[in-house]
Structure 1
C-alpha cells in the first residue's frame, strides 16, 4: 500500500513541475524531536539529521506562490519522505513567509507504528540572490504514529529545518 501511494505522489509532483515557473533543489539540517505521551508523562528526544530534495514554484499572483516540495529526510534511525505543500507570501523584496500542510511517509516503520504522518509547517525564506536562498521552518506533527494507540498514548514527530536552496 505504501509504495503505490508514494509512486502516485511522485507522479503528481512530476506533473506539477510542468506548470512551474521555477524549479530548484534544497538541502539542510533537520533538528527533529519525537514527543511521547503516556499516562500523563511527556518524554521528548531530539536528534539532528539532514534533508535534501526538490521544489517547484507556481506563481498564482504577485502576492502568492504555491510551492510543493519533495524531500528525503534522514535523522538517526529514521528516514522519511516529506511533501510540504507550502503557500509562499512575499513580505519584503527578498523576504518570504511560508505556511502550509505537510505529508510524510516513514520508510523504516516497525510493527505497531504508522507510516503516514501529517502536520503543519511554517517558516521564513530570504533570497540571497535570484538563484540562492536560505530558509528556516518548523514542522508540527499532528499524526499519532502509534497504530491503535490506547487513549492518552501518542508519539508525534516534529522538526526544525534550516537550509539553503538553489533555483534553476
Structure 2
C-alpha cells in the first residue's frame, strides 16, 4: 500500500513538473512535535522538539497558485520519519502565501504494534524574505491512529509545528 501511494505521488509530481515552470529548493528548521492520544478513556499529551531537513519543488500553475511537493527527513527524539507533503500554495498578498495539503509520513523506526504510515493534513504560511529565501511555518495535524488495532479509546496520533527557512535555486 505504501509503495503504491509513493509511486503514484512520484508519477503525479514528476509529470506535473515537466508541464509547468518549476523551481527546486532546500529547507530546514525546527519541528515542535506532539503525540497525543487516549488509553482506556484517559487522555495524554507529550511534546518534544526536533528538526527537519529536505527538498521541495515549487511548481507555478498561475501567478497566485503553485503546487509544492516536498521530501523531508524529520527527527524528533527517538522517532525518525520521511514526510512527503503535497501543498497547494496560494499567494494572498505580495510575498505572503498560504499553504495547505495532505502529508504522507513514513515512520522509519516504528516498533512492534505500531503503524509506520502516518497520514496528516498540513496548514500554514510562508513569507518570501528575498526572491530565493522564504520563512515557513506550518502545522501538521496527524490523522492516523498509530497503534495497530487501536480504537477511539486506545489511540496515539502524531502532530507537529514546523518553523524554518527554504531556499529556491
Question: Is the TM-score greater than 0.5?
Answer: yes
Count of residue correspondences: 167
| Cα shift at 1:62 | 1.9
CA RMSD, 1 decimal:
2.0
Partner of 2:97: 96
Alignment pair present for 1:115 and 2:98:
no
| Local SS of the residue matching 2:121 | strand
Alignment pair present for 1:25 and 2:26:
yes
| Local SS of the residue matching 2:61 | strand
Query: Is the contact between residue 144 and residue 155 of structure 1 (CA under 8 Å) also seen in structure 2?
Result: yes
Deviation larger for 151-160 or 24-33: 151-160
| Cα shift at 1:39 | 2.1
Query: Is the contact between residue 38 and residue 152 of structure 2 (CA under 8 Å) also seen in structure 1?
Result: no
Alignment pair present for 1:124 and 2:122:
no
Give runs of aligned pairs for residues 7-156 of structure 1, distance below 5 A: 8=7, 12=11, 15=14, 18-19=17-18, 21-156=22-157
Query: Is the contact between residue 13 and residue 69 of structure 2 (CA under 8 Å) also seen in structure 1?
Result: no
* Cα distance between partner residues in 2 of 1:89 and 1:14: 18
* Cα distance between partner residues in 2 of 1:67 and 1:16: 14
* Cα distance between partner residues in 1 of 2:69 and 2:116: 21
Where structure 1 has 5 or more consecutive residues not aligned to the other structure, the ranges are: none
